A = this chain, B = another copy of it.
Amino acid sequence: MDLVRDAMPSLTTSEKRAAQALVADYPLLGLETVARFADRAGVSAPSILRFIGRIGFASYADFQRRLMAEVEARLLSPLAKADAGSPSTRKRAPRTAFAEAAADNIAETFRRLPNGEFEAVATLLADPRRPVHLIGGRFTDALARYMTAHLRILRPNVSHLEGQRDNWHDQLLDMGNRDVLFLIDIRRYQDDLVAFAAEAARLKVTTIVLTDQWLSPAARSARHVLPARIAVPSAWDSSVALLALIEALVAEVTARRGAESRSRMAAIETIRRQGQPQSR
C-alpha cells in the first residue's frame, strides 16, 4: 500500500491509472486476475505487469502473495487499522496484549469449530466400551496428561501413552478398530507423532487430532480434526485454546455420562480418602 503511494510520482500515465484503480479498491482488485485488473483500470494487461514490476515485485504471483499476507493480517486483528493512526495506544503492556490474544484465540477457535465434529468427538470419548489412548507432543503432552486425569475419573479404559517411542508402538499392537486415539500435535509438528498417527490409521484406530489452524500432517490420518488458534505475541505458541477445547470436551462428556460418572466419581473419592490418610 505505502509501496504504491511512494512510487506514484515516478509512474507513467497508464501505470498511474493502474495504481489509482488499485488504491481505490484495495486490496481486492489485486487479487483478481491480471486481465480483470487491467479491464477495471482501463489499461492493458502488460501495463499492469509493468506497474507491478516497477513497484518492486518479481512477478504478479509475488505481488499477490504479499497482498494475501496483508489481508490475513487485517482479518485477524480488525483493530490493526488503528495502529497507524493512533500512536497513543502504543504503551499497552505486552502482557495485556498477550491476554487479549489468548482470549481471542479461544473465541475464534470455538467459532470455527466444524459443525458436529465437537459432538462426534464427545460421543467417542463418552463411550466407555471404546478404549481411549492419549498422547501429545513435546510441550502438548502435558495437556494430554491433564485430559487423561479428568477422563480417568469419568470412565474406564483411558490410557496415556508415556515414555519412549518404542513403547508407543508396542501399545499400538493391541489396538484395533474399537480403540480411539486422541493425539495433540501443533506447529513444528513432530515426525514421530505423524508417523504414529499414520500407523494407527493403518490399524483402523479411530483417530482424533487436536492441532493448530494450519493442521498437523497427522490430520491426514485422522477421522476427526479439531483445529485451534495458537498464535500470540510471544516467542512461543500458546496452548490456551487447546486447553479450552479439552475442558469443553471434558465438560460435555461429564454432562453426557451424568449419573454414571457421578457415582464413579464418588467411588473414586472414597478410595482416595481411604488410601491417603490426612497428612501430618
A contact patch SS: helix
Contact pattern, A 127-168, Cβ under 8 Å of B = 1, otherwise 0: 000000000001101110110011000000000000001000
B117 lies within 8 A of A110 (CB):
no
Closest approach, in angstroms, between the C-beta of A210 and any C-beta of chain B?
12
Most chain B CB within 10 A, of A41, A99, A255, A278, is at A99
List 7 A-B pairs, Cβ < 8 Å. A8-B114, A17-B225, A20-B114, A28-B72, A42-B215, A234-B250, A235-B254
Asked, given contacts A278-B191, A280-B195, whether A139 binds B149 with beta carbons under 8 Å apart, the answer is: yes
**From B9, B24, B142, B251, contact of A227 by CB (8 A):** B24
A106 lies within 8 A of B102 (CB):
yes
B214 lies within 8 A of A102 (CB):
no
A71 lies within 8 A of B75 (CB):
yes
Residues of B within 8 A of A227 (CB): 20, 23-24
Most chain B CB within 10 A, of A102, A195, A223, is at A102
A111 close to B (CB within 8 Å):
yes
Residue of B nearest to A196 (CB): B279
Closest approach, in angstroms, between the C-beta of A55 and any C-beta of chain B?
13
State the copy count for this chain: 2
**From B6, B20, B243, contact of A243 by CB (8 A):** B243
Contact pattern, A 230-261, Cβ under 8 Å of B = 1, otherwise 0: 00111110111001100110111011000000
A24 lies within 8 A of B138 (CB):
no
A96 close to B (CB within 8 Å):
yes
Residue of B nearest to A258 (CB): B235
A9 to B81, CA, bound (A): 37
**From B8, B41, B247, contact of A102 by CB (8 A):** B247
- Residues 14-30 of A contacting B (Cβ, < 8 Å): 16-17, 19-21, 23-28
A150 to B236, CA, bound (A): 9
A267 close to B (CB within 8 Å):
no
What are the nearest 7 A-B pairs in CB distance? Answer: A78-B78, A234-B251, A142-B146, A24-B227, A99-B110, A42-B220, A103-B103
- Residues 30-78 of A contacting B (Cβ, < 8 Å): 31-32, 40-42, 68, 71-72, 74-75, 78
A187 close to B (CB within 8 Å):
no
